[in-house]
Amino acid sequence: MREAELDHAFAEGLERSPHLRTWLLAGGRFARYARTARLMQAEQAAARKAAHWWKHWWCTMPDGTQGETDIFAVFEDPSAGRFAIHVENKPPHGVLGYAQAAAYRRRAAFKANDPRWLDYRDFETVLLAPAAFLEAHGECLRQFDRGIAYEEVAEFVPLFARGAAAGSS
């Protein structure tokens, strides 16, 4: 199972499934907006020329380092304004170093309050991986706001059941 396939399936699920969107938001720091926030995929698609609204949101940090977010989703709530979810997806045999994990929050903070990234005001960082990966990479996981296991996502996006099973073979 390729990481890109899982990225695409998750983003497509966000776009098409109100249940997945509500579940994703309800489990994190934006829980109170889970039923009222709107995914801004059309605005993300219009903001730049790219094949997918959620993919390849690169930035160059003030120190010159560059990085991207695997899945970048901006939401807008009538009372809260805009907020973003930055998802790092790691398949079963993926590699995640401490520096990469720590950079996620820095990039999310750097992109906040900037029209190039839809001027979101707040954010959450998420590590998406099989449960065994999350367990084995606790120090890296702590650099994110939370971890979400493939096994949980599989309830909404069946492809993630295959992604999780690939790690147990």
146 exposed, middle or buried (CB, 10 Å; 0-12, 13-18, 19+)? Answer: middle
Which is it for the CA torsion 8, 23, 164, 102, positive or negative? positive
Q: Going by C-beta distance under 8 Å and a sequence separation of 6 or more, which residues neighbour residue 57?
A: 68, 69, 72, 111, 117
If DSSP codes are grouped into helix, strand and coil, which group holds residue 87? strand
Tell me the one-letter amino acid at 9. Answer: A
Q: Would you say residue 121 has pLDDT above 90?
A: yes
Quote the mean pLDDT of the chain.
96
E strand intervals along the chain: 38-39, 57-60, 66-69, 71-77, 81-89, 122-129, 146-149
Residue 50 is given by DSSP the state -
Residue type present at position 43: E
d(CA 151, CA 165) in angstroms, rounded, equals 9
Tell me the pLDDT band of 23, cut-offs 50, 70 and 90: very high
pTM: 0.95
164 vs 167: CA distance, rounded Å: 6
**In the structure, what pLDDT confidence band is assigned to residue 169 with cuts at 50, 70 and 90?**
very low
Please provide residue 112's backbone torsions phi and psi, each rounded to the nearest 5 degrees: -65, 150
pLDDT at site 104 = 96
